Structure 1
């Protein structure tokens, strides 16, 4: 089917004024995988004789691995070392997902289906490695809803740079002004604004967010919430 094929295709679709899109962050929006990430980081960093506190983890949650690791070990940490430590962490994270499973956050399934039925394009726009995104989508069974997937490996700059959103918009063929970003982190919402997109903030990981619409859960959104942000 075209939807499944396009999610694995890096090519862009010519944008149109009529096409609307929702660009989804993953961690903290589609699923709550923070505990798995924390456990995996603690194990990986313990091998490097570093004790990661939960507070330090929360402060960097959602950032790219190279940013996190150079924040811990210094800006001169070699790329090979970044990759070595990150690979250990991500392999453990995916193992935890496979062993224990994960559920979508409240409201996610309802909105994925409703938006698809209404003709919205949808993409995952995440700083996570592609293998992690694939593992989550498979575990939850929602991969078929997405027309494109943009991972941290597809961009050179992490959030709040808008690159991940702009690439995602290109891949689904929507103009930036016709996109809504769903995010849980201030950096992601700032990136959405820089991209010229509307945004929904979900306070699953941060209590205070600056967005066009802010909710504690996607289940709280009104039925016409996305249509009000971007009318037909």
Structure 2
């Protein structure tokens, strides 16, 4: 952490809790398909792509759909999700998130987003933190979902830094694995029990803000 030149943040569960909106949208789709989908089931979708998330949902229901129908269902879910988040404001930032970003900028650390979300830019603008990022790598810029390290390697490249000069901030196991595979130090947001492979774990970014 002391040698950190670049900080790469996941979005959902690290900077803002959009997971609840994803859950509501997936739940709405599951209900329409007659699939029993719980918050516990939703844990399997954290940190993975929309394509894989739908595959998991269909697997839970024992349902098969062709690619054309899957594409339609993904679009349907995303439209519901966008409707849920359109009124999001800075008040929905997780505790300490903006303060920590401002602290890093003051310390000269470069900041990137490294998220599977394809709606990341609109969310960052809604939260009034878009201008704090030097680079944004989201789901529109990568071919491989976490735990593949592509998103974090592209973020480091975009910041002009080596992987070992960057620290990843992640709340999902797939993201932690991606960060480690990229050769980066990983700070888990959550509990050590849920993120055993992280180099260190904090409950939230607020714990890293200097008083």
If the length of structure 2 is used for normalisation, what is the TM-score? 0.87
Quote how far apart the aligned CAs of 1:166 are: 0.5
Q: Is the 8 A contact 1:62 1:127 kept in 2?
A: yes
Q: Give unmatched runs, 5+ long, in structure 2.
A: none
- Name the CA distance, whole Å, in 2 between partners of 1:169 and 1:47: 41
**Structure 1 residues 206 and 66, CA, compared in 2 at 3 Å: closer, same or farther?**
farther
Equivalent residue number for residue 95 of structure 1: 83
Q: Answer whether contact 1:183 1:200 (CA < 8 A) is retained.
A: yes
Partner of 2:141: 154
SS at match of 1:182: strand
> For residue 109 of structure 1, what is the aligned residue in structure 2?
98
Following the alignment from structure 1 to structure 2, what is the Cα–Cα distance between the partners of residues 222 and 115?
9
Counterpart of 2:168 in 1: which secondary structure?
A: strand
Paired residue for 1:200, among 187, 197, 200? Answer: 187
What is the aligned partner in structure 2 of residue 22 from structure 1? 7
Is contact 2:176–2:195 with CA below 8 Å preserved after alignment? no
* Structure-2 separation of matches of 1:205 and 1:50: 32
Answering whether residue 64 of structure 2 is matched by residue 79 of structure 1, we say no
RMSD of aligned residue pairs (Cα, Å): 2.5
Q: How many residues align?
A: 205
TM-score, normalized by length of structure 1? Answer: 0.80
List alignment gaps of at least 5 residues for structure 1: 1-17, 225-232
Counterparts in 2 of 1:216-231, with a 5 A limit? 216-221=203-208, 223=210
- Cα distance in 2 for partners of 1:78, 1:163 equals 28
- The yes-or-no answer on 1:62 pairing with 2:51 is no
